[in-house]
Amino acid sequence: MQINQASRKNLERETTEGHGITRNLTMTELLYEELSYKLIGSAKEVYKELGRGFLESVYEDAFCYELDKLNIAYQRQKELDVHYKKVIFERKYKADVIVDNKILCFSVCFRGLKNFLIKQ
């Protein structure tokens, strides 16, 4: 899978925020650069094909279909322990997709977000 320069530049401009710290990401900081590009390409393909308006589960199905085509290993809806200050919670976190035991992916769908926020 080839990533064009425009896509690479867009990814380099994205920022990450946490605890009041903002920093620019560079492609050299990705732990799994090649795999990350394949996942981004797969997600873009899903959005290009389906567009907006479906439930998250539909996008997840399509994303996993793309991963199958690329022979990329993944697990769906895996329950993971939540560790917090030396405590493991009884309630588990259910990960949408874990790719190659390296990258956790989750689907987000904002259909009807405006109406949801108004109701809140």
The tens digit of pLDDT for each residue in 25-64 reads 555 677 888 898 899 899 989 989 998 888 888 999 999 9
The contacts of residue 48 (CB under 8 Å, 6+ apart) are none
**Contact indicator for 103, 33 with CB cutoff of 8 Å:** no
DSSP per-residue letters across 10-49: HHHH-EEEETTEEEE--GGG-TTHHHHHHHHHHHHHHHHH
Task: State the pLDDT confidence band at 71, using cuts at 50, 70 and 90.
Answer: very high
Task: Look at residue 24 in the predicted model and tell me its pLDDT.
Answer: 55
Residue at token pair 């697990």: 75
Q: How far apart are CA 34 and CA 10, in angstroms?
A: 16
Which has the higher per-residue pLDDT, 72 or 52?
A: 72
Which has the higher per-residue pLDDT, 21 or 82?
A: 82
Task: Look at residue 51 in the predicted model and tell me its pLDDT.
Answer: 86
**Against a cut of 0.75, is the pTM above it?**
no
Task: Look at residue 104 in the predicted model and tell me its pLDDT.
Answer: 87
Counting beta carbons within 10 angstroms of the beta carbon of residue 15, is it exposed (0 to 12), middle (13 to 18) or buried (19 or more)? Answer: exposed
Q: How far is CA 2 from the centre of its chain?
A: 19
- Percent of the chain scored above 90 by pLDDT? 40
State yes or no: pLDDT of 112 exceeds 90.
no
Mean pLDDT, the chain, rounded, equals: 76
